[in-house]
Homo-oligomer: A and B are copies of this chain.
């Protein structure tokens, strides 16, 4: 068996640790491994490289992905996938392990069925918005990156009487916003999953002001309904004109950085399990963390089930703790 491994979609910290685990576990089992560069684009371009144990030396601590990643429109066409298949076949690759998010998985699912090639997927996205794993690779690191930013802003916020808005990633998922908001002691959090208008926000801010909080920080997930941190800051400022508002847009720095211990261990376990399951004959599943166990879920189920990881409990707690 020759295993092809690739990363696809948005990159996430821990992808390199996961590639390392896939490569070394497969080599240890006597299989050879080919790195596919730039995800599905690399299959279409035949952008391959034989991997040895040394190819993945000293990468466990690196952010990003040594295999690069790209979005690939061509792979959504039958012709594109046909070409990818021919290149893969020519290279002798007869099984795939793909690391990424739902776009990656739907590509893998279709491709595996069309060409009857076994594939195992691994959840790698900072958004933590996939069914079938309590945590996705990169989410823990991204949340730590956000709280380091909030901590720094808190220093200056506590020295002045100002209102700070921090925009974090999350088009459809408020996981980073909610958890980093709780961990950063934010006074309010605007999430994609939960409607909160400027009026409600302003009344929360008034409560904070009345309880003599020394600083006020609002976390704004990019997908929340009011249009992002700059717009929210502008509207709030118009209502409370005494406030001096300041905005930080964290942007893609949330995707980078050396992975946390949690993400590296998770990446190692998922990569190791993916190879084990591939060798055991499984296919079209995603390996994921359930409690302390690694389990596999059919890709179809992962793709079709909506997951809501923000419990009402957490939302309620957030309000209680920010008093």
Contact = CB atoms under 8 A, between A and B. Distances in A.
Contact of A179 (B140, B147, B246, B261): B261
Interface string A52-92: 01100110111111001110000000000000000000000
Nearest to A60: B185
Contacts of A151: 61, 256-258
Contact of A53 (B62, B211, B258, B262): B211
Given A58-B214, A249-B248, A64 B156 contact: yes
Contact of A249 (B11, B249, B255): B249
Interface stretch (A24-32, A112-120, A195-203): A24-32
A154 B58 contact: yes
Given A11-B160, A134-B292, A63 B155 contact: yes
Give the number of times this chain occurs in the complex, counting copies.
4
Interface string A252-282: 1111111011101100110010000000000
Contacts of A154: 58, 61, 256
A17 B155 CA distance: 14
A26 to B, nearest CB: 10
A276 B164 CA distance: 31
Given A179-B261, A247-B249, A160 B317 contact: no
A128 to B, nearest CB: 12
A141 to B, nearest CB: 9
B256 A156 contact: yes
Interface of A: 7, 10-11, 13, 17, 20-21, 24-25, 27-28, 53-54, 57-58, 60-65, 68-70, 134, 140, 143-147, 149, 151-161, 164, 179-180, 182-185, 211-215, 246-258, 260-262, 264-265, 268-269, 272, 290-292, 314, 317, 320-321, 323
A321 B24 contact: yes
16 contacts: A10-B156, A17-B183, A24-B320, A60-B183, A64-B156, A70-B160, A151-B258, A152-B253, A155-B255, A156-B255, A179-B265, A248-B251, A260-B262, A269-B317, A272-B320, A291-B292
A211 B213 CA distance: 32
A254 B261 CA distance: 14
